Structure 1
Amino acid sequence: MKVKNKETVSENRNESESLSENKNERENEIENESVSENKNETENETESESESESVSENQNDSESVSENKNESENEIENESVRKNKNKNENEIENEKESVSKNKNEIVSKNENEIERHHNAVQQIQHPFHRNEIERHHNGVQQIEHPFHRQHPLVLVAEQSNLGLKASCDGCGELLSAPCFSCTNCNYHLHKKCAVAPLEISNHPLHLQHPIRSGKSRHQHPFTLFRRRGSFICDACGTEGNSISYICSTCNVMVHKKCTALPRIIKFSRHDHCIFHKYFLEDLTRQDCKICFNEIKLDSGNYSCGKPGCNYIVHVNCVLEDDHLYKVIEEEKQCEELYKKYMQSSIIRVIEVNEAGEATKIEHFSHQHCLVLADKMEEEIDRKCDGCLLSISPLFYYCSKCPFFLHKTCVELPRIKQHWFRQSNAILNFKGFLECNFCCRPCSGFFYNIGEYLRMCLMCAKIADIIECEGHQHFLFFDFKCKEKCNGCGIRCWRGAFRCGKCRFVLDFACLALPHSALHKIDEHMLNPTYDDDKEQSYCDICEQERDPTLWHYSCSVCDTSAHPKCVLGQFSFLNDGITWADVDHLHTHHLKFFRKAKGYLECSYCGKLCQEEFLKCEESTCSYIVHCKCWNY
């Protein structure tokens, strides 16, 4: 039993083991299946993951490509920027090098210029110029001047005290900015005076010595005189008490302004060029031909260079008005100017006599030939068509029409240098004008002076220095004179002829009065008279009271006396038949001037008969006639 049980137990054990094995196998199978499934799942997952990873990798690759592309683009862009930067840096570097090179050139040029200027300063022996340059370079605008060694002079760019009227201690003129000043000593110098050179080379007034430097024509240097004091300038003859310059070779001392005096000038009041001299070559007394005061023996002057001409003037008199003179650079120009002003009015000489006189000519003022004559064939009062005075021998006349000219009027220069202005005076011939000097209406010859002045021939013949019958001294024209005329009593506003020794004054109108005149009130010639002993006088023409101290016309045979304007009339210097073409008037046509009417003509304005000067329309179909006194031309 026990064996059976033992066997049963053994069988049961075997079954259990078998079951256990089956169980284990089953578990292994299940496990294997599970593992297989897990493996499959794992593989699927792996595949999925692999696919994901592949997709991810593809995405990453795309991103990587994109990134690489961007990186490449960035690298290209950076490379381009880097290249441009390098290029710009190179260009900037080149520009810097160019600027540096130019700067070095400019600095070198400036250094050379400064060195040249420094050498020039040393050559003109100016001790304070160097200090001035160095101090100004360092920002200090002051100089050490040899005239004021106590303190430096400080530059004043603007005048701070306008009410203070100080004078320059160099030139003596009123102080103005810019200037150098010492406030401690109240010492002032104009900037131009402070930097004035100690020497002036090649000056036009000294030609005896070699030229050292500079543009001036002076042939040796003037030296700045360091000590101030009163002196007489050897160039102009006037006193000075400021800066002076000396020429040790010629032993002359001059003002600063006189170092620049021109050596040769053409003065409008003289036909020839005049030259500057330091002293009189003639030991006899000579008077200035402008102011009539004596010129001292050792005084600078301007005198004529033509042999036999004794024209001489003070320096300050001749240079007072720069409109009246012209600086001549070379002496050969003098002869050229003289020839230019001697241009004749005679166009052509056709015939001459044995004495060489032109007996038949062509003149610019007339369309026909003119013939020389010494007397009139008829005893009639003919007037010169040039100056409007009565014809006297010798004269030229036209054989085809009533045209007459004095020989002196024929020979007038076509272009001349009139003493009133430096500009050329050109001779013209016109029907009517009003002279700007005597203020009379006139016809005939006149001179155009400049652009605006017109001078009749009577005024043009008056020299700037005259000897007048009504006065015992010489008279000279003074541009500044505004006194009353002793001839007519009218105040002169544009200058007048005056006496240098007394207060006698005459204007152009009185000096241009004819020396004789005819009037119907007297059968004899009337002559200008310059004084009257009568306490009360009357004009025998207008019967008005006359001032006995003023000029008048009188008869030496009869007791006739009259105002000059009453004797001559308003239109005594007009020729019959001249046309007033350039005069504004109310009539539509040109008018002609006549002294006497033929027949009985009534004035279109007042209705009275025209027995005096009148104007008549030149149109044959127009009957317009008017008295000159009725029509204000």
Structure 2
Amino acid sequence: MESIKHFSHIHPLQLKEDHQNDVEQVFCSGCEKPISGPVFCCNQCNYVLHKSCAELPNKKKHPFHPEHHLTLLSTPPYEGICICDACRGIFNKFVYHCSLCKFDLDIACASQWNPDDGHKHAFISLWNPTSPFVCYACGEKASEILSCVCSICQIWVHSSCADYWDTTTKKDEVDTESDQSQDIDFSLFCHEHLLRFVEEQSLQNVDDKIKLCDGCIQPIITSSPFFSCSENCGFVLHQSCAELPKTKKHPFHIHHLSLLPKAPPYDGVFRCDGCRGLSNGFVYRCDECQFDLDVCCGSLKDTIEHESHNHPLHLEKTGAPRICKGCHLQSNHVYVCHVCEDFAIDCGCATLPNKAWHVFGKHPLKLTCFAGTDLRGNECGICSEKMSLEQWFYFCDDCDFAAHTHCVVGKCWRVKFGGTFKYDTHSHPLALVEETRKNTACEACDEQCNGLALECGQCKSYYHREGKCFWEQFKESAKYFAFSGTMLRYRYAANVFAATPNVTTKGETKHRK
């Protein structure tokens, strides 16, 4: 006969498969419910426990109190009666208790939830746009921004609750229902329409354009989950970009940076203070200092391994400008080698893709950091200018095709073109485009639009989105005059001015600050 020593009683308890007492009804000394079925009982006194009560874990994590583990006690730690914090019932036997919070659950409430019987769908870790919210698992108010959501059940829970409540053990059930999650819409901070979660993108047709994430302005690949606008307005977002921290401390700046879906300058186009490139995606920003980083520079790792160097590289803001080994421009925001004092690469070169496609090439081009002697005298296959042995370039071995890095990725490789924006200086919405045709003249100044331009689909007209022409147009806008005070106008205007590519300070082409 099985015998156990239980913490709640001084005598050994013997297992009986079917306890019967014809004289009077017997109640469990743990849950205070009538005895039925197998029990553990004491042969020396009248102490009896349901087998299930005798096998209760001494500690357990429960969604009703996710902050701490609950400890099983044989009696409440208070004088008199004890009130369950879940059902508000009165009891005086077994209790799951938190000594830090004075939180108590009776056995019935504590046993209603079991990790093995928890939520059957996978949770997704996301920013909750409705924060603060009430956690569906524990019922407590939650203020954390990054929380977990079930796209099938449309419920939000603490990240800590999801760890104990997510039991996707039935793989077939999860796989079957995961397709349904594509029809669930979410509201996120970064977009005006509801977004649809897509776990896997169907293969694109040959004629389909590559989708660019509106957060990082990088391609959406088929194997990674993402969000797509339910109104089909073209907005797409990597799941990883939806989970970006809302604030962060960065080595490039002394203050904390806040994540914004668009930069303040007028239409969201800004110049990143890290790589000095243009972007119109999410921005990590310090309003006090007018400091902006795009998502790629804002998410740089503190230390990296790069094929251009055999030592680890460390992200720093240097006091004196350093010459980048990739492009030979100067920058204060660089990766440096603590072993080799003369090696540094700037943010732009550090984030260049290892492989890239170009319309002139038949094969993917590989980023090359070390030139061979056979490159000497070669011309860039795109701009026809001479290639330098001292600068990185893209190369195809099969075609013997070489090109400058800036010719392959373009000067606006972190700008997402398309969409429309209502400018005060024109009666129709204008779309941001990259104009390269030689016969396209700006309606405002009658000079050629070459680069960033604004296109009116109704008037079939174009306007500069860069340079002094755009600046003169902006000064006439209502948005500029909406700011009270000369200093506020100056600070805001200076930020717009900095976002115009062909408005540069003297020597900027040689020195990136």
* TM-score, normalised via structure 1 length: 0.40
Could you say which structure has the higher helix fraction? 1
Q: Which has the higher contact order (CA 8 A, sep 6+)?
A: 2
Larger-gyration structure (1/2): 1
